[in-house]
Structure 1
Amino acid sequence: MRLNIAVIPKNGIGPEITTQSIKVLKAIALEFDHQFLIKIADLNSKNSSSNEVIDLCKSSDAILASNDSFLQSNTLSAQLNVYASSTIVKSYQSLAVNSPLKKEVISGTNILFFNELNLSNQLSEKHASKNNNYAFDSNENTRQEIELVAKKAFKAAQTRGKRVTLINKSSTSQVSALWSEVAGNLSLQYPEIEFNITNLENAVTQLLLTPNLFDVVLTERIISNVLIQQSSVLTGSTSLQSTSYIGHKQSLFFPTIHNHLDDTDYKNPNPLASILSAAMLLEHFGLYSESEMIKTAVNRSLELNITTPDLNSTYNNITTNKVGDFIADFIMNPHDSNANFKNIHLGQSTII
């Protein structure tokens, strides 16, 4: 497959972590015989402008970013007509010790959250009185907006555990009622998918007690944000979640959270969420084997403690670059990477 991929490294640690994702994508291209034409936006050049970055993104098939700050501070999301967001929350056995929950509770957790992403909801009517004794926010969704994101959720479930759960805010909310109606009607077109509706209070409880009940979660944006933040206890780290903004032509992929995003002095930032964002990008284009190879490599890096200091209590000499080297090495030599373990520590990866 031939893909044009724009990369927005932003500032701070952005260039360092996206470099590892590019390294991994190049390894995938070589191993699976693809053509990935990768262009990096020059955000630091005096001659570079926001319009040039937007033009680069609009001429690409997909965008890989270090975070969503550029998307939020510019008109990129609007110009690309993004309409949905998805975030993956997955548990890793080697990180289970970092979770406050029991290992047997979080084991096997793999949840894909979908929510609508539209300007109309962000720009809904808001009002506060001058003395701050009264405030008002409206929440709006159209049938078309809900149907677009619901279709993505049901189609994603076809390649996963074949379960979709709609989480509503309130049984008395007219917006929630519309979500239930639209998603319920759409579920009839996917008879192989188990469809359930639950309220937010129950979902919050079940997410902590029996997270494996969830496969694909469909909900409003404000609810999704709350649930995704809470779900960080299931993964043992916030630095492994990746998110996509889905558009009609181009989609954007980036780490959900990074605690040191704009810290230029932070040494050896964790690149795994950025690398997993690249896996999401490939899956978006139906390259499931390629995406799975990246996920397997990430899991192996965690098992072998080839991770940056934030996740590593065994070795203190693993750099951001070494993590990227190992994952690229694993993709091209999945049966040899154990033998190369010592070389990776010495910075002598077979990938140049």
Structure 2
Amino acid sequence: MKITLLPGDGIGPEIVDAAVCVLKAVGIKKQIEFKFEKHLIGGAAIDATSVPLPEATITAALAADAVLLGAVGGPKWDACDPTLRPEKGLLAIRKALGLYCNLRPIRVSPFVAHLSPVKTERVEGVDLLIVRELTGGIYFGAHNEARINDDGVEEASDVELYTRPEVERIAEFALQAAHKRKGKVTSVDKANVLASSRMWRKIVEEKRAADYNSVNLEHLYVDNCAMQLVLNPKQFDVILTNNIFGDILSDEASVIAGSIGMLPSASLGDGTGMYEPIHGSAPDIAGQGIANPLGTILSAAMLLRYSLHNEEA
């Protein structure tokens, strides 16, 4: 199995190395031959090549069975041109690999429930999955940087755009996941004010009615969902939402588990999958040997599950 490693920035290299050690141990025990190859992304790529995602990295990722990513970004590159920020490398690799589905499992066992800032009785036993659309929406719509308009007022804009196929395929993934779990999907939108959300809601309902009648479907506005995640997180099974809402809600949900540093994610499409912890690059602790690699190790477990199809992982 060929795995492209993208250590990235900050603590990225050290947490990826820790996950590789675990994968090597699994390989020995399960007689799996792993081949690891490191490539540049993010700030490290900017420093070496002047771009956040070199062509060599894209080529290696496309040729791999899976990609394991550390983290990208840091204050060092804050002054970069907006089109050349480290985070642009992350968006570009997702697009290049066609990774339209991001999975973020949130599980709270009795052993770690006390670490959550939310009351133990509210979070103990939480087991939910956030399914986030990853390659559409406002992050990939047209961006107009700040300018002075005809009235002499400074303005900037970002466009939220979704197509029917984009919504259909992410809805399919969420409904299928719920069918294998507890049978409930909560679709999160802002249909009371956004046209894109009204289309999203309509398509999700059509997909459920056509193919997944046994799955219970409910809709929540994103502001209500943010509140419910704190008030009663146990009510959720699968949360389906768009790119920007999923980005925010998954970080909020991570706090339920006690630490964003302990949670994994998988980004999937029709080909090579990419796996990464959901925390940032934490440059303030890089190189000190104190970064928690658990999120990356659990991401490696998701790699085994979804790219190697090993359910034991």
Q: Give the shorter-chain TM-score range.
A: 0.7 to 0.9
Alignment of 1:315-334 (within 5 A): none
Q: Distance in 2 between matches of 1:136 and 1:11?
A: 29
The answer to whether structure 1 residue 79 and structure 2 residue 96 are counterparts is yes
Q: Distance in 2 between matches of 1:171 and 1:120?
A: 17
Q: Distance in 2 between matches of 1:14 and 1:135?
A: 33
Q: Distance in 2 between matches of 1:192 and 1:32?
A: 37
Q: Distance in 1 between matches of 2:231 and 2:33?
A: 44
1:9 to 7, 10, 13: 7
Does the 8 Å CA contact 2:137/2:159 hold for their aligned counterparts? no
Q: Distance in 2 between matches of 1:97 and 1:272?
A: 18
Does the 8 Å CA contact 1:85/1:117 hold for their aligned counterparts? yes
The answer to whether structure 1 residue 18 and structure 2 residue 16 are counterparts is yes
Q: Distance in 2 between matches of 1:123 and 1:15?
A: 28
Alignment of 1:300-339 (within 5 A): none
Does the 8 Å CA contact 2:131/2:239 hold for their aligned counterparts? yes
Q: Distance in 2 between matches of 1:251 and 1:149?
A: 15
Q: Distance in 1 between matches of 2:254 and 2:48?
A: 40
1:193 to 201, 204, 215: 215
Q: Distance in 1 between matches of 2:54 and 2:158?
A: 31
Q: How many residues align?
A: 289
Pairwise CA distance, 1:112:
1.4
Amino acid at match of 2:167: I
More moved, 183-192 vs 36-45: 36-45
1:204 to 219, 226, 229: 226
Amino acid at match of 1:73: G
Aligned to 1:177, what secondary structure does the other structure show? Answer: helix
Alignment of 1:216-235 (within 5 A): 216-235=238-257
Aligned to 1:35, what secondary structure does the other structure show? Answer: coil
Pairwise CA distance, 1:259:
5.8
Amino acid at match of 1:177: R
The answer to whether structure 1 residue 154 and structure 2 residue 175 are counterparts is yes
Does the 8 Å CA contact 1:32/1:290 hold for their aligned counterparts? no
Alignment of 1:141-180 (within 5 A): 141-180=162-201
Q: Give the TM-score, by structure 2 length.
A: 0.81
C-alpha deviations, 1:178-230, integer Å up to 9, x for none?
11111111112123322221222321222111111111111111111221222
Q: Distance in 2 between matches of 1:260 and 1:172?
A: 36
The answer to whether structure 1 residue 246 and structure 2 residue 268 are counterparts is yes
Alignment-derived partner of residue 27 in structure 1: 25
Does the 8 Å CA contact 1:71/1:77 hold for their aligned counterparts? no
Does the 8 Å CA contact 1:111/1:215 hold for their aligned counterparts? yes
Q: 1:173 to 1:97 in 2, by over 3 A?
A: same
Q: 1:155 to 1:27 in 2, by over 3 A?
A: farther
Alignment-derived partner of residue 81 in structure 2: none
Q: 1:28 to 1:199 in 2, by over 3 A?
A: same
More moved, 218-227 vs 86-95: 86-95
More moved, 273-282 vs 149-158: 149-158
The answer to whether structure 1 residue 52 and structure 2 residue 56 are counterparts is yes
Q: Distance in 2 between matches of 1:230 and 1:171?
A: 22
When the two chains are superposed, the root-mean-square deviation of aligned CA atoms in Å is 2.8
Does the 8 Å CA contact 1:78/1:119 hold for their aligned counterparts? no
Q: Distance in 1 between matches of 2:196 and 2:48?
A: 46
Q: Give the TM-score, by structure 1 length.
A: 0.73
Aligned to 1:196, what secondary structure does the other structure show? Answer: strand
- Overall identity of the aligned pairs, in %: 27
